[in-house]
Amino acid sequence: MAISAAKSIRASTGAGISGFLLCLPFTLENGDYPAAPRTSMPPAISPSNPIVPMNSLNVVRRAVASFAVVSLLGFLSATGHAAGCLNPAEALDRLKLGNERFVVNRVSDPKPTAVRRAETSRHQSPFAIIVGCADSRVGPETVFDQTIGDLFAVRVAGNLVDDFALGSLEYAVEPLGTRLIVVLGHQRCGAISAAIAAPDAPHHIGNIVRALQPAVQAARGRPGDLPRNATEINAEMVAAKIRKEAHFGAAAPEVVIVAGYYVLDTGRIEWTKPESETAPGSGN
């Protein structure tokens, strides 16, 4: 309902903007402005009767026009990014549509960067939270075809969560108001591969490898591709940890957590568990 209303507003506003631009008494491309009709000689220039040269008037008119256009584009962008009002189902649909654009389109559509940057400079209302891997090939804004302020991303190798990550998720749910959490694993995850190769590793990488061992061991008992199974099981375990340990307060019944698997070869995200089987967040 909210999305349909936003689209209707955007369509009607677009028509109004076209009419507004057609009525502007100047041409932005070449600065040729229609001359005002003269019925008499211009008055003499004096302190009480200053006359601004036409070149200066052109500059002023261009500045006013630019401000008007940018303001109107900002309004359109705002109506197209009513993120805070999306429920989990609507947010998930928007992610799926964005990923489909990413898969199908050869070139990404241009994003209203300047307008969106200004729009979100004082506040943010992301419509989804992505708990993802730090892998450079799996940037959430890219694979979901979103822009500034749309997604709240929490990323670490192996898409694991610790106390810092849980605190970040709690902040995104309240006060930001986001209600959908996606735990996103991916094909050929280096952290998963390291955890399969050995039960431990040197230095801080060892912390990651050890944390992934439960998923790896559970995957060894399943038929099929071990790395993929381990990645999917890990995503489900992380989702379960979030449900158990994150404190979402009164918003907990509204929070939905789903798991996804990003295929590097195709760019497509496969949802590893039907949404109907994913219970709302149970954090206190």
Amino acid 139: pLDDT: 97
Question: In tens digits, what is the pLDDT along the chain, a chain of 284 residues?
Answer: 444 444 433 343 343 333 333 333 333 333 343 444 444 444 454 445 444 444 544 544 554 444 443 343 343 333 334 455 699 999 999 999 999 999 999 888 888 889 999 999 999 999 999 999 999 999 999 999 999 999 999 999 999 999 999 999 999 999 999 999 999 999 999 999 999 999 999 999 999 999 999 999 999 989 999 999 999 999 999 999 999 999 999 999 999 999 999 999 999 999 986 544 444 444 55
End-to-end CA distance of the chain: 30
Q: How far apart are CA 58 and CA 46, in angstroms?
A: 22
pLDDT for 48 equals: 53
Please give the Cα distance from 282 to 284 (Å, whole number): 6
Give me the pLDDT at residue 257, please.
Answer: 97
- The pLDDT of residue 111 is 86
Q: What is the pLDDT of residue 273?
A: 64
0.75 exceeded by pTM? no
In CATH terms, the fold of domain 85-277 is: Beta-carbonic Anhydrase; Chain A (3.40.1050)
Yes or no: say if 261 and 231 are a contact pair by the CB < 8 Å rule.
yes
Per-residue pLDDT, 62? 54
Q: Which long-range contacts (CB under 8 A, 24 or more apart) does 155-158 make?
A: 155/130, 155/131, 156/208, 157/133, 157/190, 157/191, 157/208, 158/133, 158/189, 158/191, 158/192, 158/195, 158/208, 158/211, 158/212, 158/234
In the numeric block, the tokens 């008992």 are attached to 221
At 155 the three-state DSSP class reads strand
pLDDT for 3? 41
Predicted pLDDT of residue 110: 84
Taking CA atoms, 141 is separated from 80, 119, 164, 264, in Å, by 16, 17, 22, 15
What residues does each domain of the chain span?
2-35+48-80, 85-277
**What pLDDT sits at residue 108?**
82
Q: Which tokens in the block code for residue 198? A: 């050995």
| 278: DSSP letter | S
Quote the pLDDT of residue 66.
Answer: 46
